[in-house]
């Protein structure tokens, strides 16, 4: 059984973090023989930090508290290493305002420096050749430091998805292109990364998470807890239950591939707090696997959700266009225009838009279908009564 440790934590005040962090981390560090004299790599989620308390990234005070915690336990080397898609790790941490404190602690902040193809993959991996940051081999201890966020493509992301940052930026685009609209294939690749990187500790910032239009432009939601485990997938499964999420591609594939170990919640376990999820209309399309190809294509066209731009919020920066793997976007009269025929629904444009100007919209057909489904269910219930 894998232990998933919880500690309730109402906010990011240092006294609260200094109480909650040891509660979730001490047992895991003890199982690793402590951290004294060891080199530690922290892989935080630093997607972006546009505004104070931006829930797109782990919270600066928590990152600082984690580094202080490790330093106080005599870690020899502490490195914060991330591969943000737009700015450098150094630039994101500077905008968080904690760089001077990290420097005083002797903590290095940097991007991944090199990548290698791994041919000798763990037995259960499906993708036999993944390229991954070399750093994951160079440190004694890897801490996968994730943020609890909703995600248009993966529904909810915690520890497993955070490891995608160990893949080179250009490779990340290639992965989106390679798996296209098949979110389960994407989840399989994430699970392979999880098997390969095998971080010894996964820590989740769920003091304030993100709900709705995640992972870049959702709304902050007070969840009030920290959580940690030796197994990122077990942590994901445990936390999904706490946030009222029954199904995500990563959990579905993890179960199907027998990767999800039994787990037990320990410590100060929070109450269930359902979060507002992004639109997930692709579920309806799953029925379509039984239909002929032409009908399937038509269904996709009619029912697939699509990214849309809010003209009032867009500042014409062009980032969405540069980040679109199949180049399905172009700028027309200072506004991005989508080619939905080639769009693979990876939602990178939504993830990277600094203004939260891109959202995921259900098609009118899908809304009609959902309304019909609800009506039929209601009728059935009434009849049974």
* Binding interface with ligand SF4 (CB under 6 A): 307, 309, 314-320, 324-326, 328-329, 336, 338, 343-349, 353, 355, 357-358
Q: Least separation, in Å, of the C-beta of 311 and ligand SF4?
A: 9
Select from 148, 78, 89 the least CA-distant residue to 113: 89
Cis amide linkage into residue 155, ω under 30° from 0: no
In the complex with ligand SF4, the residue whose CB is nearer, 20 or 353, is 353
Angle made by CA atoms 63, 86, 188, in degrees to the nearest 5: 80
Q: Give me the count of residues in the chain.
A: 385
Q: 99 is written with which tokens?
A: 């760089």
Which of 272, 268, 271 lies closest to 24 in space, CA to CA?
268
Contact 229, 2 (CB under 8 A): yes
Which CB sits closer to ligand SF4, 35 or 187? Answer: 187
- Of 165 and 270, the one with the shorter C-beta distance to ligand SF4 is 165
CB 47 within 8 A of CB 76: no
Which CB sits closer to ligand SF4, 272 or 312? 312
Q: Least Å distance between CB 288 and ligand SF4?
A: 19
CA 349, CA 309: separation in Å to the nearest integer?
10
Task: State whether residue 179 is helix, strand or coil.
Answer: helix
- Which of 337, 376 has the CB closer to ligand SF4? 337
* Nearest distance from C-beta of residue 47 to ligand SF4, angstroms: 14
Beta bridge partners of 201: 143
Taking the complex as a whole, how short is the minimal distance between the CB of residue 209 and ligand SF4, in angstroms?
A: 23
| CB 214, min distance to ligand SF4, A | 14
Which residue number, 9 or 329, has a Cβ lying nearer to ligand SF4? 329
Q: How far is the CB of 319 from ligand SF4 (least distance, A)?
A: 4
């Amino acid at each position: 059984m894998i232990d998933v440790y919880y500690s309730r934590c109402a906010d990011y005040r240092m006294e609260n973090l200094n109480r909650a962090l040891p509660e979730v981390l001490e047992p895991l560090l003890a199982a690793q023989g402590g951290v004294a004299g060891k080199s530690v790599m922290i892989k935080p989620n630093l997607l972006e930090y546009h505004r104070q308390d931006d829930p797109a990234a782990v919270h600066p005070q928590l990152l600082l508290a984690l580094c202080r915690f490790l330093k106080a336990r005599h870690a020899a080397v502490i490195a914060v290493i991330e591969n943000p898609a737009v700015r450098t790790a150094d630039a994101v941490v500077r905008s968080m305002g904690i760089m001077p404190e990290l420097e005083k602690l002797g903590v290095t902040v940097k991007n991944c420096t090199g990548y290698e193809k791994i041919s000798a993959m763990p037995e259960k991996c499906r993708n036999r050749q993944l390229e991954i940051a070399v750093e994951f081999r160079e440190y004694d201890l890897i801490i996968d430091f994730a943020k609890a966020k909703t995600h248009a493509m993966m529904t909810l992301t915690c520890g497993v998805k955070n490891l995608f940052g160990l893949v080179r930026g250009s490779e990340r685009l290639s992965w989106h292109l390679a798996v296209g609209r098949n979110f389960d294939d994407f989840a399989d690749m994430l699970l392979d990364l999880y098997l390969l990187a095998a971080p010894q500790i996964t820590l989740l910032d769920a003091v304030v998470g993100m709900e709705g239009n995640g992972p870049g432009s959702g709304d902050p939601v007070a969840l009030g807890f920290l959580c940690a485990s030796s197994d990122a997938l077990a942590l994901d499964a445990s936390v999904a239950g706490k946030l009222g999420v029954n199904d995500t591609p990563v959990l579905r594939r993890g179960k199907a591939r027998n990767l999800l170990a039994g787990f037990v919640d320990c410590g100060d376990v929070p109450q269930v707090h359902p979060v507002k999820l992004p639109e997930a209309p692709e579920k309806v399309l799953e029925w379509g696997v039984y239909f002929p190809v032409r009908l399937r294509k038509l269904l996709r066209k009619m029912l697939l959700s699509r990214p849309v731009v809010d003209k009032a919020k867009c500042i014409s920066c062009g980032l969405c266009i540069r980040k679109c793997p199949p180049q399905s976007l172009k700028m027309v009269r200072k506004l991005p225009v989508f080619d939905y025929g080639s769009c693979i629904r990876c939602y990178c444009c939504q993830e990277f838009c600094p203004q939260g100007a891109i959202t995921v919209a259900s098609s009118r057909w899908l809304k009609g279908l959902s309304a019909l489904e609800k009506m039929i269910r209601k009728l059935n219930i009434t009849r049974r009564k």
